[in-house]
Amino acid sequence: RAHVDELDTLSEEKAAHAWIKILARNRQNPDNLDEAHKIFNEERQRFSAYNRVSAYCTPEGFKFMYKTWGRNPKPGYEMIQASTHSNPFLPDDYIETLRNSYPANLIEAYIEGKFTNLTSGSVYTSYDRKLNATDRVVEAKDVLHIGMDFNVGKMSAIVHVTDYCDIIDEEITSAVHEFLGLLDTPEMIKAIQAKYPDHKIFIYPDASGQNRKSSNASETDISQLKAAFNVRAKTKNPFVKNRIASVQGMLCNANNIIRYFINEDTCPGTADSLEQQAYNKAGEPDKSHDNDHPNDALGYYIHNRYPIIIGSSVQTLDIRGF
C-alpha cells in the first residue's frame, strides 16, 4: 500500500505524472494473496484483496485532486473530506485558535475540509479601506517595527507601531509611514535614520538579504542593517502562501476581528498595493505592477511577529481496485 502526502503541492502536470508512476508501482500482487485474504477476512476484512493507494492533502484550490476525484468521481475511487470538527483528539480551544488566526477564506479549507480557491482574483481579499483605516501616527514614545523588502531601485520599507486594544484584548499594529522606491540598502538606512533619529527601531527584512549586496557594498544587506538597527531576520523567507495568510488573518480573521490598520495619508502606496495586487494566470501574486514590494515588506514583518498557525484538516482519497 502506498501513502501520498500533500500531492496537490505539486503542479497539476507533475501531480498527474507522479500519480501514474505510483499506480504503476502498486500493480504487483503480494505473495500468497489468496491464503492471506482468507485468514484476514475472518477478522472483519482487515485485509483487502486489492492493492491500495491513499492520497492526503489540504484542499487549497481546485487542482489535480479536485479535477481527478472531486469533480468527476470514478468507480473504485473513494474520497473522504474530513472536517477538523470530526477530530476527537484536538484540544477544546483548537478550532477557536484557528479562527482567531486564519482569514475567512482559509477556514473553508483548513477547518471544513472544503475545496477553496486561494489563487485567483485579489491577493488580499481581507483588506477594506474603511475598516482597516486609522489616523495613528508615529509618537515620541513609540518603538518602530519596520518590514523591509530588498530590490535595487525599488527598496520598500513599511513602518509600524503597536498598541494594546482593550476591546479585543489583543495587540494591534498600524502602518504609519512608508519608504518606497529607494535605490539601495545604504540609502534606505540613511532615510530611516534621518526621519527617526531618536526612536528604537526593529527591522524585519527579506531573508534573501543575508546573501545579497546592494550596489558595490562589501557587506550583505542584512549586515549593513545590523550595523545601524536591531534586526530580526529569519534564516529563510516563509512560504508565500503562509506570508499572505498571515497578512490576511491580521487584516480580518474568520471571527471578523481586525488587528492590522493602515494610515492612508502617510502610507498611500501601501493602501493601493494591498487593494490592487492580484494573482496572475499561474496562480501566483502578480509582480508586474510593483504592488508586490510594499506588500512583501509588510508581510515579512507580520509573519515574523504574528505567524499563521497551520491547521491539520485534510482530505483523504482511498483508491482501490485498479
Q: Sign of the C-alpha dihedral, residues 83, 86, 89, 92?
A: positive
Counting as low any pLDDT under 70, the low residues of the chain are 28-50, 117-120, 209-218, 309-322
Identify which of 125, 23, 111, 4 has the alpha carbon closest to the alpha carbon of residue 59.
Answer: 111
Q: Give the CB-side neighbour count of residue 163, counting CA atoms within 13 A.
A: 16
Q: In Å, how far are 19, 25, 43, 272 from 48, measured between CA atoms?
A: 21, 17, 11, 57
Q: Compute the distance between CA of residue 285 and CA of residue 244 in angstroms, rounded to an integer.
A: 10
How far apart (Å, rounded) are the C-alpha atoms in residues 47 and 29? 13
Contact predicate 151/157, CB 8 Å: no
pLDDT in tens, 157-168: 999 999 999 999
Non-local CB neighbours of 243 within 8 Å, separated by 6+ positions: 237, 296, 299, 300, 302, 303
Question: 317 near 79, Cβ under 8 Å?
Answer: yes
Domains and CATH numbers, the chain: 2-89+314-320 (no CATH), 144-305 (3.30.420.280)
pTM of this structure? 0.71
Half-sphere exposure of 57 (CA within 13 A, CB side): 22
pLDDT score of 314:
39
pLDDT at 83: 81
pLDDT computed for residue 316 by the predictor: 40
How big is the chain by its Cα radius of gyration, in Å? 24
Q: Which residues contact 308 (CB under 8 A, 6 or more apart)?
A: 101, 102, 242, 245, 246, 249
Please write down the long-range contacts of 165-169, taking CB distance under 8 Å and 24 or more positions apart: 165/259, 168/257, 168/259
Per-residue model confidence as pLDDT tens digits over 192-226? 999 999 999 999 999 886 666 665 445 788 999 99
> 90: Cβ–Cβ under 8 A, 6 or more apart, which residues?
84
**158 touches 301 (CB < 8 A):** yes
Give the CA angle between residues 154, 160, 162 to the nearest 5°. 165
Q: Cell numbers 471544513 label which residue?
A: 112
